Chains A and B, each alone.
Chain A
Amino acid sequence: MNMPSRIKPPLGHDNGWWWEQAAAGDLTIQRCAICQTLRHPPRPMCSECRSMEWDFIKSTGRGTVASFTVLHHPQFPGYEYPLIIVLVDLLEGTRLVAQLRECDRDDVQFGMAVEAFIHEDDDGFKIPMFRPANASQQAKETQHAD
């Protein structure tokens, strides 16, 4: 029997590329090809200059927590609770909503530094998430100390 898994995004013209980039390991941000304005969530037109030409940049994945919520109820199959969701101000100036992992509920703080990584589910689905910044560094250091 298959275990329940997370809800998958529909992949349309305006958003599919972002998930494809995530599946390839990159967190990306859409950029207007004319005026260079970054935008997220992706849209087909630049609201600054109305150009429909765009490309994307790879995000540093670094940012700070602008707000967060911790979900307890209702609990949907395919997710682990309590579920920490953060709204992150990325270094590039756009925002992104994603899950925060590798962090105790009591350690989530407004303004805390976070870094993005690509999480892979058991079914192979890949999705950008955050963890406390330098968590990976700390993990390496701990490993080194061992």
Chain B
Amino acid sequence: MVAAVRAAEAGVHVGIVDCNANLGGQIWRGEAKHEWTRAAGWISRLRTAGATILCALTVFHQPETGILLAETNDSVHVLSYTKLVLATGARERFLPFPGWTLPNVTGVGGLQALVKSGLPIRGKRVVIAGTGPLLLAVAAYLREHGAEIPIICEQASWSSLARFGVTLFGQPAKIAQGLRLTGQLARVKFAPNSWPVAVHGKAAVEAVMISRQGRTETIPCDYLACGFHLVPNIELPLLLGCEIQRGCVQVDDFQRTTVREVLCAGEPTGIGGIELSLAEGQIAGLVASGQMTAAKELFGQRNRARHFARTLDRAFRLRSELRRLPSPDTIVCRCEDIRYSRLSQHTSWRSAKLHTRCGMGPCQGRVCGPASEFLFKWNPDSVRPPIFPVRVESLVALSSEPELECSEVSGGHK
């Protein structure tokens, strides 16, 4: 979004495509309706600058350079561009354990997104588990909205966390955030060295069994919000031929990918949080619209934010015990109900996919891929179009659909 603003304000014809119903991505979901927020400020600038805003629109293919195909629930569209900024964000990594497929087991960011989308949480008991600062941020949010949080289970150890704590002093925004959070979380149990081992319940979650300092405890609850890091959404960059290394889109200092006319900003270039995404996004929009001097002015901000992100990574590394959580009949691929015992017979993602259909369901490996990567140390390979399921009627209708022309398209997309 910020990329679109910086380009549109320079007079460039800009279109922004977001697969969500509203702009703002995950972190700013629901923020823009409050006019004092940064999100509202940026959206106001976007509208004033006259960018074309296309929401609830999902890009699924690029049949030739400069042409994107996208679908809504009811229609299909052809978009053409001369420059493309990809800001496809990230999703959570889910790890399987017995009972994780029960209704009311959600991601951490996932539960926050659901509550922001209208799910009532007041008076509900929510166990939060997984890893990273997201656990605290979401716990605070849920508390603000009346949820009871019996415990926050962080899989990292105290010593890892202490190292992370020391570096917070380099990041003023994070300290402020930390202090605000502490007030809301004063009476919530925060337990490092702990993780979920099983979920109990018939039709939905009734209790979670956790491992805490080597002992197990069972905690009755209504929801388990559980996520283990964020994973960049690189499917569209990969489809376009951008170079990817260690799961991240490779970009130069100007946020340019290895594909001509395609830039990338935010989480897909490396998980780094909102401040890094804001810096990278603006740089990308400025570069795409030829404002190189203004872009360079943001390099310092970006580089400081990037340093913080690397520290985060080291502090919250996933521990090996998490690989032993699934039992033989725990489902790993939720789309095709493929269980751990079937997958563990294979030695590569490709082999598992071809023999079991793991990764071939509607999510196209977005859930089971990162899980398998961690469990088995596999490398999920290339993508093929369409990168999301698409209706046959859309494919048939394509030749007669009108084309929307923009000289720059900013993609906020998964």
Q: Do A and B come from one complex?
A: no
